[in-house]
Amino acid sequence: MSGKQGCKMTAFKLKMSKALGLPSRSSVAETPRAETPPAPTGKSAPGGNLSTERPPSIEGIIDDVLEARTVEQHFFRPSMLFGCKRANVFHYTRVPHHPQRQNPRMLRILDNGTAIHSVLQGYLADHPDWWFAPESRILVKVQGATIRGSCDGVLIRREDGYRVGVEIKSISHDQFIKLTKPKPEHVFQAGLYCRLQKLPWIVIIYWDKNTQHLKEYVVRYNPQQWEDVKERVKELYGYVQSGELPEYDASTCDTTFCATVDYCRSKGAPV
């Protein structure tokens, strides 16, 4: 790369850092954007007022991503946020994990779920009238805590840019037939993605792992629910900052896929 190109790249990276609310290079990895309210969507022309802005350097973006990966990150995952409080605190503080506790059958169940996501995402990517952006990442600060995760995808109508989020859940037949509405923890997760992805709507789609039937539920962004999300994050992050642990709660404890069960037991949980 020539000196001039190098200068351009440096200027670009500074611009990217500013746009993302990132600090200087030395501490770039652990600095997500501040959360912002959802932007209105509508019938604006594709690209709208941004159509005259030249594209960024793709290499510069890749550089940013690879550099961020070199730093250990502490964060809450949206998919865990409304489950076991202890598991959230353990995840954020990166206590020892024991994935080897997962037996081969459990690992097959996890891989099956991943495969179902891929199949559904493949279907959605094939529609001629919609673009599909899979695994749409969020990395933001909420109440001082870092939230990192991925919505399973965002569908964007080619004609006018209308957007809707998609969250995929693969569940057992027993759970599927009982579903008359989305599970509360999934609604909270969807609401969080709505807010942070600036989506007015998100559809939760359930896949019956036994019969391959589907059920779908629409979730609309709800400002009050966002307040609940913030309260939850504040509470959990309070534990992280104080070094205290939430009380063991049998009603939210599910050791089936818990990777910190040994550590939790060592901290007094009767599991």
Tell me which residues touch ligand SF4 (CB under 6 A): 84, 86-87, 90, 248, 253-255, 258, 260-261, 264, 269, 271
Minimum Å distance from CB 237 to ligand SF4?
17
- Separation CA 190–CA 204 (nearest Å): 8
Nearer to ligand SF4, 199 or 240 (CB): 240
Query: Quick check: 63 and 70 in contact, CB under 8 A?
Result: no
Provide the minimum distance between the beta carbon of 156 and ligand SF4 in the complex, in angstroms, as a whole number. 37
Structure tokens at 56: 């960024």
Q: Which is nearer to ligand SF4, 67 or 254 (CB)?
A: 254
**Closest distance between ligand SF4 and the C-beta of residue 102, in Å?**
13
Asked whether 24 and 17 are in contact (CB, 8 A), the reply is yes
- Give whichever of 87 and 229 is closer to ligand SF4, judged by the CB atom: 87
Report residue 267 as tokens: 């901290």
Closer by beta carbon to ligand SF4, 84 or else 133: 84
Q: Which is nearer to ligand SF4, 87 or 124 (CB)?
A: 87
Strand 214-220 to strand 201-208: parallel, antiparallel, or no bridges (unpaired)? antiparallel
- CA-to-CA distance for 158 and 136, rounded, in angstroms? 18
Residue with smaller CB distance to ligand SF4, 233 or 264? 264
Q: For 130, what's the count of Cα atoms within 13 Å in the CB-facing half-sphere?
A: 19
Closest distance of CB 250 from ligand SF4, Å: 8
Taking the complex as a whole, the smallest distance from the CB of residue 190 to ligand SF4 amounts, in Å, to: 22
Beta bridge pairs of residue 208: 171
Radius of gyration from C-alpha coordinates of the chain: 21
Structure tokens at 208: 């019956």
Q: Which is nearer to ligand SF4, 2 or 103 (CB)?
A: 103
Minimum CB distance to ligand SF4, residue 32 (Å): 25
Residue 235's Cβ-side half-sphere holds a number of Cα atoms within 13 Å equal to 14
Helix (H) or strand (E) holding 200: none
Find tokens 């500074």 and name the residue: 14
**Cα→Cα distances 112→105, 106, 115, 116, 205, Å:** 10, 10, 5, 6, 16
Q: How far is the CB of 252 from ligand SF4 (least distance, A)?
A: 7
